[in-house]
Structure 1
């Protein structure tokens, strides 16, 4: 099968996850499962990716515009009226039927941002009632409430039991938080928040990267699923798109070199990122450069297809060979919703689930690679334009 045909099949199958694994209950309408094994629990991040997928489904002819708009409107009404929140920030994991807290989950700033980006894309595409609902939900978010004023950074999390903890004090997937915060029409954050987190630099195979703590690929991908960094830089001249290219190449080189130690890893099977594993979900799979002098990342031979696919806009040629390998040589990875979450040949293990955020980054990055649609919708938003301007980003012609 040709590469474009595999991409089309994977993108459509990923879309089917978001369309089919969605609640149709009165109070929880539009809530999307976190993964296919935990049957009654949704994640607000999964909903954010699912809302972003709706315009793709319409433009690709998989659903009608009417049904897509109806899904967007009813989902946003659930979030406005029923899904549990505090100061406008939503609880990370929620019951799919009632929209109430599950797992003693935190009130999450990053997952609220992922949800808001999905709402913004849907609002830009459908307009009308979708746009009005998004404006109300977005305007309700009290961004400064989640800021540690003494350290000038967002707290890492908040729960009812322990209050605030930690801090987003180094680079990771959170740039969308600063853009949304700076652009808020009601409760904006100061632009200095964006410039306060550490930009630690490290090198692997002569590739210098502003690296995240564990070097997990999703941290270089998530904000890029919506914001088109190809032609913009911040006031310090940082090119985040180039940085993600280098991080993707470092991950590929590292996996290629580790082929001597793990059967699953080689130049056509790579992309270390947070995913399912033989020992349960792991958020620390990654590659150098990483923190603590390149020792913060973890590796056990587990590889998720979403790792490479999420970097298709950064290193398309390498991803093409990788996707062909998965599809042609690891048929056990295929499921109703496209590639399963991960596999590990050394442990004779293949995941029995798909995970919403992994299907989401796959779908959005494939679409950006094919058409740029998500980037165009996001960058056309006045909120995003204003947020980037307030943060001091400039376009190529201004450099």
Structure 2
């Protein structure tokens, strides 16, 4: 929505109205120590269980939510009472999110789920490397309920698939599982976190994300399984709807399914390759994969299968990451937030953004 406002697709007043309605929902929704479930009913805010035991908070999905909310707060920086009210409402939700509760009283790692009925029964500690970096950044940045820095270093950074440093498709991969995993690892947390010039004790994150994307692209071009359609203008293995349900596609889990958000959300990392995919998807495949809400979630020329779905978690990063490539808009908003700067500094991050802040 911020991008839409900047590009002139919606007015600032329309954006304000949409944000206000979303905040109305969040303020009446059931939350769990300030965190929200994976799914909720839009009309009532009641939790819609993801599974039998996953019937409460989803810390990672909440982190994606707050990444967006804090960008909205930074964007509405004007003196108008309506904008001040939106800032205040978002700040209230942000201050009430009890991130430290989800360390279970320890200093070792965040836990993904908690509910009133099942507690921490799912017992899913959040270790790296994957899409969850934003959770630790927000938890360290919380103005009231921040986590100890040990949780980042002893929990997140000690995951079995954190450090890699092996070579795939001729490219050294600093972090993550072999072959990099699904491309959304380079998208979801990095809608707000700017990887340009970002580093800590473990990696340079621009190098990490470019390497991951290059490996995914080069694998699709090489196409070792001979799937129909793969090539320099048709690539991108990431999570999305698949021939038989939802799947997290990657070079290690390659089922002949291309998810458009894989290539299109990678514009910052491989702009020429992403543009080639965009042209092919739009100009050549056309109505097979392009519809009312943009590109469908996935397709397979190998299996002659084309999804009839559009998933928000795929559509959103496409718009945000293309705009980050064009102007750095969302990166600049998020990385300029004072709490985020302080939290990332606590964790040991260095970034060119830390020289200035947005009030």
Shorter-chain TM-score: which interval? 0.7 to 0.9
Note the C-alpha offset of 1:99.
1.1
Q: How does 1:216-365 map to 2 (within 5 A)?
A: 216-234=182-200, 236=201, 238-258=203-223, 261-282=226-247, 284-287=248-251, 297-331=252-286, 332-365=288-321
1:239-264: CA deviation from partner (whole Å, max 9, x where unpaired)? 11210100000001111122652103
- Residues 197 and 351 of structure 2 are in contact (CA less than 8 Å); yes or no, is this contact kept in structure 1? yes
- Residues 25 and 42 of structure 2 are in contact (CA less than 8 Å); yes or no, is this contact kept in structure 1? no
Q: How does 1:18-97 map to 2 (within 5 A)?
A: 54-80=1-27, 82-97=28-43
- Residue 181 of structure 1 pairs with residue 139 of structure 2: yes
1:173-201: CA deviation from partner (whole Å, max 9, x where unpaired)? 11111111111111111122222223230
Quick one: distance in 2 between partners of 1:233 and 1:396? 10
- Residues 199 and 349 of structure 2 are in contact (CA less than 8 Å); yes or no, is this contact kept in structure 1? yes
Quick one: distance in 2 between partners of 1:244 and 1:137? 31
Gaps of 5+ in 1: 1-53, 288-296
The higher relative CO (CA closer than 8 Å, separation ≥ 6) is in 1
Note the C-alpha offset of 1:71.
1.7
- Residues 108 and 152 of structure 2 are in contact (CA less than 8 Å); yes or no, is this contact kept in structure 1? no
Quick one: distance in 1 between partners of 2:279 and 2:23? 37
Gaps of 5+ in 2: 78-83, 355-359
1:337-367: CA deviation from partner (whole Å, max 9, x where unpaired)? 1111110011111000100000011010011
Judge which range, 181-190 or 148-157, deviates more.
148-157
Q: How many residues align?
A: 333
Quick one: distance in 1 between partners of 2:239 and 2:125? 20
* Partner residue in 1 for 2:80: none
Note the C-alpha offset of 1:229.
1.8
